[in-house]
């Protein structure tokens, strides 16, 4: 998904036109033959009866709906597009609202969120059939848009834990904190398989092996619950697996979006390999965990069987959306498009809408083009280019989710768990996740764990930068450096164990007398293709990080280096200088979890979920390659025993 204020330039004109169509829409509808207004449903309408099976409720409601009401259910708008004129929700009969990355109410508190979502909901309930909204959000490592929420390690770190139970617990907390503020639907987890670490979304993947990704899909259960009725409870949400399918496995340089190199590019493959590597996690999501929604990828697929050179956008791929996902795999939830993604399909807007609906997309994330989408789809159906049976199938799937969430009985926010948001209990789970995600890659002379009585010298910006350790999708789409959320930095955690700590961001303070030097290197935040290597990014350490390693590891007898980043970085030429090397990933709000393993309170037991390259040009490199010679192999990770050293 994308940020609400960042659009490819070619879309801007269309979005402006779309906003203007709010006023124009009634005249377009009025151009049709005048019909008597359909009656309001009786109070005892079967779809309003919670004792009836969901299928019967859906059948009854669908039978009562006009085409305009059905198309409205298929439409999702960004909150920024409707907030100043919330009556659009009623007029367009919208089925959904979303918050993109960084899209939050002015009062960014649990109460402010819940009040906003409930205000939108009241407008949906003012429609004839009183069909409630479903509100979607990217809570990809906690409720990241909300300042004060518990922010967990990004998925790549959770993959390093090899702990499916912990992932389930993490996502249950995320679901509880999210739903307590209003949204009932999370655009996660990402079950992509990262096959090239130059991809800017690498940290959103659990790893490079489809089997590991499948193991970590317990997070779907954390979101939705274990039993069919669990989603009605206020601690669960509807989950979305994304991005179906092939993102993370695109060819370098194949993207045509802005300056991206890999993100939104082309996966060049054969069908057998594609099913084995890229589609396999979705089979698990559907068959084992009954996931409620699936989001297609911005990327394209180019089959080798018919000759390379004719890629098809995933949002237009009927074979994969309808034939494979809904047919062979048996997915009975609904497909939600990514951020204005249908606008990347070739052709004019009518062609884009028609193609994607007929391919199998059910709900359309048209953030600032919702009025235009409604008008266009109505015209396509009336012209016979989209069958009413396809519309009915899409709406049936959407309504099923709303009934399963209990929204018809409890449309407004249940705020009972609001006080648990960012609670000590939730943060304790996040801290444990951080500790279990740490991967010890080198430990010469048993440099780790550290002793509490040692004099410690800490260097590096990422030792004490909350925004850097949280990464992208935190408060804003791209994330940002600095003190942006409450929590503990890695330096804070070190100081919880030792009172004899010197911190110098650039290693300029004197090192004399220090027993141990800790250098924290890494990346600054980014999200999606903005983070692609070749788009202003590289896997190399920064010059400042290299200088800090050189200074501290030369001057201090024992030198420990921590890498705070969304993916492995190139350390081949500096590794010999380090006594210990730890991959810390993007730990989120609880940086003290890093200190827990440094000082031996918890053992190192994390293992690499990806292969660590010797050089940037070695990418892509993955377990199973014929010529496999990484710096550290997939699954590598040294272990230590827990228990304090004094």
CA distance 502 to 543: 22
Contact between 185 and 556 (Cβ < 8 Å): no
Contact between 181 and 418 (Cβ < 8 Å): yes
Q: Is the dihedral of CA 374, 377, 382, 386 positive or negative?
A: negative
Among the options 215, 528, 532, 596, which is catalytic? 528
Task: List C-alpha distances in Å: 331 to 283, 291, 397, 611.
Answer: 9, 8, 10, 32
CA distance 116 to 89: 13
Give yes or no: 528 in active site: yes
CA distance 337 to 28: 25
CA distance 423 to 272: 46
3-state secondary structure of 572: coil
Write the DSSP string, 538-569.
Answer: -SBPPHHHHHHHHHHHHHSSEEEEEEESSS--
Closest CA to 508 of 458, 473, 447: 458
Give yes or no: 338 in active site: yes
Strands (E), 408-454: 439-443
CA distance 342 to 17: 17
Degrees to nearest 5, angle at CA 430 with 460 and 292: 120
CA distance 603 to 600: 6
CA distance 462 to 489: 9
Name, in order, each residue with C-beta under 8 angstroms of 226's C-beta and a sequence gap of 6 or more: none
Closest CA to 300 of 334, 340, 256, 260: 256
Burial, 540: exposed, middle or buried (Cβ in 10 Å; 0-12, 13-18, 19+)?
A: middle
CA distance 387 to 215: 39
Among the options 263, 338, 523, 532, which is catalytic? 338
Name, in order, each residue with C-beta under 8 angstroms of 164's C-beta and a sequence gap of 6 or more: 215, 216, 218
Residue 441 sits at φ, ψ, to 5 deg, of: -100, -25
Task: List C-alpha distances in Å: 177 to 108, 211, 309, 422, 429.
Answer: 14, 29, 46, 8, 14
Write the DSSP string, 292-331.
Answer: SEEEE-S-EEEESTT-SS--EEGGG-HIIIIIIIIIIS--
Closest CA to 184 of 473, 421, 413: 413
3-state secondary structure of 174: helix
Closest CA to 225 of 217, 216, 233, 215: 233
Q: How far apart are the first and last CA of the chain?
A: 48
Closest CA to 520 of 430, 609, 583: 583
Classify the phi-psi angles of 445: left when phi > 0, otherwise alpha if psi is within -120 to 50, otherwise beta: left
Catalytic center residues? 338, 528
């Amino acid at each position: 998904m994308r940020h609400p204020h960042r659009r490819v330039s070619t879309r801007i004109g269309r979005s402006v036109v779309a906003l203007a169509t709010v006023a124009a829409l009634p005249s377009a509808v009025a151009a049709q033959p005048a019909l008597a207004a359909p009656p309001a449903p009786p109070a005892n309408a079967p779809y309003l009866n919670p004792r009836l099976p969901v299928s019967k409720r859906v059948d009854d409601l669908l039978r009562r709906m006009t085409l305009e009401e059905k198309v409205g259910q298929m439409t999702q708008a960004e909150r920024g597009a409707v907030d100043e004129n919330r009556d659009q929700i009623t007029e367009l009969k919208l089925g959904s609202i979303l918050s993109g990355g960084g899209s939050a109410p002015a009062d960014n508190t649990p109460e402010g969120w819940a009040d906003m979502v409930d205000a939108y909901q009241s407008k949906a309930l003012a429609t004839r059939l009183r069909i409630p909204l479903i509100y979607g959000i990217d809570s990809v490592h906690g409720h990241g848009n909300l300042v004060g929420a518990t922010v967990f390690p990004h998925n790549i770190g959770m993959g390093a834990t090899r702990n499916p139970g912990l992932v389930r617990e993490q996502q249950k907390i995320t679901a509880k904190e999210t739903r307590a503020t209003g949204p009932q639907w999370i655009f996660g987890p990402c079950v992509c398989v990262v096959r090239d670490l130059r991809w800017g979304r690498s940290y959103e993947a659990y790893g490079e092996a489809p089997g590991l990704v499948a193991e970590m899909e317990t997070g779907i259960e954390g979101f939705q619950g274990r039993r069919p009725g669990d989603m009605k409870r206020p601690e669960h949400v509807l989950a979305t697996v994304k991005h179906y399918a092939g993102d993370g496995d695109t060819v370098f340089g194949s993207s045509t979006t802005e300056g991206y190199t890999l993100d939104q590019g082309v996966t060049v493959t054969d069908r057998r390999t594609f099913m084995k590597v890229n589609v396999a996690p979705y089979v698990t999501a559907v068959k084992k965990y009954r996931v409620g929604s699936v989001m297609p990828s911005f990327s394209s697929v180019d089959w080798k069987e018919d000759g390379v050179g004719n890629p098809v956008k995933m949002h237009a791929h009927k074979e994969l959306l309808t034939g494979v996902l809904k047919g062979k795999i048996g997915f009975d939830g609904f497909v939600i498009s990514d951020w204005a993604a249908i606008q990347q399909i070739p052709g004019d807007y009518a062609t884009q809408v028609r193609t994607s609906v007929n391919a199998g997309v059910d709900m359309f994330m048209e953030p600032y083009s919702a009025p235009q989408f409604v008008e266009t789809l109505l015209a396509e159906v009336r012209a016979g280019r989209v069958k009413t049976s396809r519309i009915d199938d899409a709406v049936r799937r959407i309504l099923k989710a709303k009934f399963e969430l209990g929204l018809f009985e409890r449309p407004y926010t249940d705020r009972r768990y609001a006080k648990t948001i960012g609670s000590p209990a939730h943060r304790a789970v996040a801290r444990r996740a951080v500790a279990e995600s740490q991967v010890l890659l080198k430990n010469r002379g048993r440099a780790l764990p550290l002793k509490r009585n040692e004099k410690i010298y800490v260097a590096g910006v990422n030792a004490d930068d909350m925004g850097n350790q949280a990464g992208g999708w935190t408060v804003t789409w791209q994330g940002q450096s600095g003190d942006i959320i409450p929590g503990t930095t890695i330096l804070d955690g070190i100081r919880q164990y030792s009172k004899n700590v010197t911190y110098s961001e650039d290693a300029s303070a004197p090192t004399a007398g220090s027993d141990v030097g800790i250098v924290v290197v890494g990346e600054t935040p980014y999200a999606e293709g903005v983070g692609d290597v070749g788009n202003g990014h590289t896997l190399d350490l920064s010059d400042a990080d290299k200088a800090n390693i050189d200074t501290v590891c030369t001057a201090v007898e024992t030198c420990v280096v921590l890498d705070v980043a969304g993916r492995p970085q190139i350390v081949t030429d500096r590794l010999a200088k380090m006594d210990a090397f730890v991959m810390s990933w993007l730990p989120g709000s609880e940086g003290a979890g890093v200190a827990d393993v440094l000082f031996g309170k918890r053992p190192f037991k994390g293992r690499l979920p990806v292969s660590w390259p010797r050089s940037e040009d070695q990418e892509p490199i993955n377990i199973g390659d014929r010529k496999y010679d990484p710096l550290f192999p997939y699954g590598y990770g040294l272990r230590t025993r827990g228990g304090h050293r004094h």
